[in-house]
Structure 1
Amino acid sequence: MLSKSSLLYFGIVTLAFLVETEAWWLVGENGNDHQCPRRGGASPYYFGSTSLSCLTSSKRGVPSRGIWELTHRFIYYKEFYFDFHSDSYATIARLRYGGKCSGSTESSPAGYSYLSADCIKGCARNYRCKFGTYNALSNNCHKFANRLSEVLCTSGHTCPSWCLGSCNYARVI
């Protein structure tokens, strides 16, 4: 039988894990289906996903999606796919993995943005310098997509300063 102090310690560690990793799927929350409002002249952006088996064989108010799904998550905006990978590099491409891996976007836009494709490319290039290296629990492709969604939905006409940095941890395909 566990002591009260052991149970308390287990509870604190479990809560810390849920908060740090946003593993709310264990208790019911898995992202949201909010939509960033349509704005006149703004371009739509989409969340999308790709099968993890394809990738491994080849090597909150704002819209978000769960970070614990067994798919690879990306953002599609202005004819570009934006991905974040386990090697801590982002990929910016017009085709899904050179046409090798299929992937699909959700049928409805997650939201609309005035930002240029160059701004979002800068966010992808500078993502690692701003948020750190890949971590399966706390900084994965789902977090990357949610963070780009936040930029797209909340930045208006102004590209965030961190997206204008000089890091270059991205592959352009």
Structure 2
Amino acid sequence: MRFVLICRLLFICTLFLSVESWWFVKSGNSRGCPRRGNARPYYFGTTHLGCMLKGRQKGKRSVPLRGTWDDTHRYIYYRGKYFEFSRSGSRSGYSRLDEHCRGKTERYPAGYSYLSLDCIERCVRRYQNEYGGYNVVSNNCHNFANRMSEVLCRRSYQCPSWCN
């Protein structure tokens, strides 16, 4: 009994160490990425995970700095395109991964960016080379959205070197 309790505590501690401080992150524009010049807004959005999993064939979809532990699928919306990450890899498109599921893009911009769509699409294509494959704990759709937010919030027009 004591061994099981210790194992559970270690598991919980491991989860907290691998999760960023999501309880401090609020929706809307962060002070760290304010509107500047002709920068374009970008948004975080979510889709209910239960809907995405419902009626899917086994293996097609799996349970996937906003919270990295949430029962939603997170994406980034920028310049009319959606940027997402799942077990099947990263993707960009003019529609969400599962359009039949209602998605919710946050009302207020998370930040503003000067970067081109071409740059962000290259980052999305090269994401797994830089950060590795999908992992439900350490590299899920929430981690992807937070990392893409870091890329978008750059104060220059220059694309990050790992995206080239």
Which of the numbers 39, 42, 46 marks the counterpart of 2:43? 46
Name structure 1 gaps, 5 residues minimum: 165-173
Contact kept? 1:48, 1:73, Cα under 8 Å = yes
Q: Could you tell me which residue of structure 2 aligns to residue 170 of structure 1?
A: none
* 2:33 corresponds to 1:32: no
Q: Could you tell me which residue of structure 1 aligns to residue 163 of structure 2?
A: 163
- Mapped partners of 2:123, 2:12: distance in 1: 32
Contact kept? 1:96, 1:102, Cα under 8 Å = no
Contact kept? 2:34, 2:111, Cα under 8 Å = yes
Q: Could you tell me which residue of structure 1 aligns to residue 112 of structure 2?
A: 112
TM-score, normalised via structure 2 length: 0.80
- Mapped partners of 1:119, 1:105: distance in 2: 22
Figure out how many residues of one structure are paired with residues of the other and give that number. Answer: 152
Q: Could you tell me which residue of structure 1 aligns to residue 78 of structure 2?
A: 77
Query: Structure 1 residue 17: deviation in Å?
Result: 3.4
Contact kept? 2:84, 2:97, Cα under 8 Å = no
Query: Structure 1 residue 11: deviation in Å?
Result: 6.5
Describe the superposition over 1:20-55 as per-residue Cα deviations: whole angstroms up to 9, x where unpaired: 233x56xxx253342520011110000000111232
Describe the superposition over 1:76-100 as per-residue Cα deviations: whole angstroms up to 9, x where unpaired: 001100000023x112110123743
- Mapped partners of 2:68, 2:24: distance in 1: 7
Q: Could you tell me which residue of structure 1 aligns to residue 16 of structure 2?
A: 18
Cα distance change of structure 1 residues 84 and 30 upon mapping to structure 2, 3 Å threshold: farther
Q: Could you tell me which residue of structure 1 aligns to residue 137 of structure 2?
A: 137
- Mapped partners of 2:71, 2:98: distance in 1: 22
Name structure 2 gaps, 5 residues minimum: none
- Mapped partners of 2:126, 2:145: distance in 1: 14
- RMSD value over aligned CA atoms? 2.5
Query: Structure 1 residue 157: deviation in Å?
Result: 1.0
Query: Structure 1 residue 18: deviation in Å?
Result: 1.4
Cα distance change of structure 1 residues 119 and 70 upon mapping to structure 2, 3 Å threshold: same
Q: Could you tell me which residue of structure 1 aligns to residue 67 of structure 2?
A: 66
Cα distance change of structure 1 residues 101 and 11 upon mapping to structure 2, 3 Å threshold: closer
